[in-house]
Amino acid sequence: MYAILDIETTGGKFDEEGITEIAIYQFDGHQITDQFVSLVNPEKPIQPFVVNLTKITQKMLVNAPKFYEVAKRIVEITTDCVVVAHNASFDYRILQTEFRRLGFEFNRSSLCTVSLSKKLIPEMKSYKLGKLVRSLGIPISDRHRASGDAKATVELFKILLSKDIDKQIIKTHLKNNIETALSGKFLEMLTDLPTTTGVYYLHNEKGDVIYIGKGNDIKKRVRQHLTGTNRKSLRIQLEIAGVTFEETGSELIALLKENDEIKRHKPKNNRALKNSMMKLGVLSEVNPNGYIALKLTKYSDLEKYHAEFKNLNEARRVLFHFTEKHNLCQRLTQVDPGDDACFNVSINKCLGACKAEEPSENYNKRILQLFEEFKFPYSDMVVIDKGRAVDERSVILIENDNFMGYGYVNLNHQISNIEILRSLIRPMKNNRDARHIIQRYLRKSKSLKIIKLNP
């Protein structure tokens, strides 16, 4: 749990500042669960430059509660939380100073979104909160007021969590907060899990990831691991000490994240996706009669295929679909391997390429159309799908026929402005597995919106 906060002060000498306004949003990594916003009477004058900056005047604070009157609420909302702030050393120091004046030691773990942003979103022009969030397309209102700045920091922190591919934020948090008691452990793990689409991570006592999975119902999938009786489930049950998750909204992003994270972390209990998921590839060659014939072969990283497939059933199903769609010959597309004329000739669904009756140039044109369908619809495009909330959309970015990564947007201008879109994207490797996942999903789904970009 995180307590994302912002504090406005009177200004003045170091360690003599007083708080004029405070906003704290309790955040569970996915949504705000509690909040506290209040003006505070600092019992000392506000520096003129601060009044000009924040528009908070001495008159506004006359009837505001003093710090000791809000201290209990601050303790409550930050208990068992990591304090998160933009330039956390300042806000955390101010809080500690105020509590020290009351004779209370305020100690919390803390994270700074400035240093995290420099690490996870490098090469930004500025890391000042206002300029940074605007460059990321995050709307911000009431700038230099505690509530407005804290809300913007929440949205920034969401982006930082999604870009934290090495899980350092979560891993550090787990190490400090993990429950090692066995009694009721599994039930407790399930309590806060959502029933939404996303990726989940099973951790051991050290915080290391021991298994990564995806599901359209995260809680249901994790429950299956904790109640299963097969060898893998029993092995996981012996080691598991915590569960974290990331809601994706989109099944496509869940598939891509699962594939990417497994290859990155190589959890001991994930075997299928550690290496390439591809088992078969489609090559082509011109036969003695001048027709382009497809050849289904065992997958190799050294070959460049028109398409790749996980298994023979998937390959035959897809090839059959496109053979029918483009009126191709089943013999030449490996749907019905053999040496004789294909069955479709007898029912007039094949124009006779297998018997060298159709002009090869006519047939080959249709095969080339098929090859185009194995590619992305556009070399530069955005695939828009469901988001994690009603007012949010997920985006997949393809540039120059390469998969760049995914992100989330709330506003149309974040999509139309390619620079903002690039800054919101969490990069992913443009490997064959990722491309196959996207192409397969595009073939299956009818609800996606695809926007062609101008390169």
For residues 159 and 223, state if they share a domain: no
Structurally, how many domains does the chain consist of?
4
Is the CB of residue 227 less than 8 Å from the CB of residue 220? no
Residue 214 DSSP symbol: E
Residue 91 domain flag: yes
Residue 271 lies in a domain: no
Based on the domain organization, do 19 and 117 belong to the same domain? Answer: yes
Among the listed residues 196, 191, 181, the one whose alpha carbon sits nearest the alpha carbon of residue 390: 196
Indicate if the alpha-carbon torsion angle 190, 170, 110, 159 is positive or negative.
Answer: negative
> Do 158 and 102 have their domain in common?
yes
d(CA 141, CA 448): 32
Out of 325, 343, 373, a domain closes at 373
Question: Would residue 275 count as lying in a domain?
Answer: no
Task: Report whether pLDDT(446) > 80.
Answer: no
Question: CA–CA separation, 75 vs 285, rounded Å?
Answer: 71
- With H, G, I as helix, E, B as strand and everything else as coil, classify residue 81: coil
Q: Is residue 123 over pLDDT 50?
A: yes
Q: What is the pTM of this model?
A: 0.66
Q: Which residues contact 314 (CB under 8 A, 6 or more apart)?
A: none
- 86 and 185 housed in the same domain: no
Residue 254 and residue 195 share a domain? yes
Residue 6 scores a pLDDT above 80: yes
403 and 356 co-located in one domain:
no
Tokens of 186: 């599994």
The percent of residues above 70 in pLDDT, for the chain, comes to: 94
Q: What is the pLDDT of residues 292-348, one digit of tens each?
A: 999 989 888 778 888 888 888 888 888 888 888 888 988 888 887 777 788 777 777
Measured between alpha carbons, how far is 92 from 105 in angstroms, rounded to an integer?
12
Domain assignment present for 273: no
Give the Cα-Cα-Cα angle 17, 22, 24 (nearest 5 degrees): 135
Residue range(s) defining the domain that contains residue 253: 168-265
CA distance 382 to 455: 12
Is the pLDDT confidence value at 173 over 60? Answer: no
On whether the CB atoms of residues 6 and 33 are closer than 8 A, the answer is no
Same domain, 98 and 246: no
295 in the same domain as 357 = yes
Q: Last residue of some domain: 265, 300, 325?
A: 265
Residue 289 lies in a domain: yes
CATH code of the domain containing 21: 3.30.420.10
Query: Cα(354)–Cα(336) distance, rounded to whole angstroms?
Result: 11
> What pLDDT score does 349 carry?
79
Amino acid sitting at position 252: L
Contacts of 47 (CB under 8 A, 6+ apart): 10, 11, 12
Domain assignment of residue 139, yes or no: yes
Q: Are residues 20 and 145 in the same domain?
A: yes
**Same domain? 51 vs 152:** yes
Q: Is the pLDDT of residue 183 over 80?
A: no
Q: In this structure, are 35 and 84 located in the same domain?
A: yes
The model's confidence at residue 272, banded by pLDDT at 50, 70 and 90, is: low
Sheet containing 402-409: give its strands across.
426-427, 402-409, 393-399, 381-386, 449-452
CATH for 236: 3.40.1440.10
The pLDDT value recorded for residue 180 is 33
In whole numbers, what is the pLDDT of the chain averaged over residues? 87
Q: What is the pLDDT of residue 455?
A: 65
- Tell me which H or E stretch contains 296: strand 292-298
Other beta carbons within 10 angstroms of residue 206's beta carbon come to 11
Phi/psi of residue 280, each to 5°? -135, 150
Of 126, 5, 154, the closest CA to residue 75 belongs to 5
Q: In the predicted model, what is the mean pLDDT of residues 246-260?
A: 94
| Length of the chain, in residues | 455
**Does residue 153 form part of some domain?**
yes
Give me the pLDDT at residue 170, please. Answer: 66
User: CA-to-CA distance for 437 and 422, rounded, in angstroms?
Assistant: 21
The domain boundary residue, chosen from 350, 373, 396: 373
Residue that wins the pLDDT comparison between 257 and 432: 257
Q: Which residues touch 241 (CB under 8 Å, ≥6 apart)?
A: 178, 179, 180, 185, 203, 204, 205
Helix (H, G, I), strand (E, B) or coil at 223: helix
Confidence tier at 181 by pLDDT (50, 70, 90)? very low
In a domain, 270, yes or no: no
**325 and 386 share one domain:** no
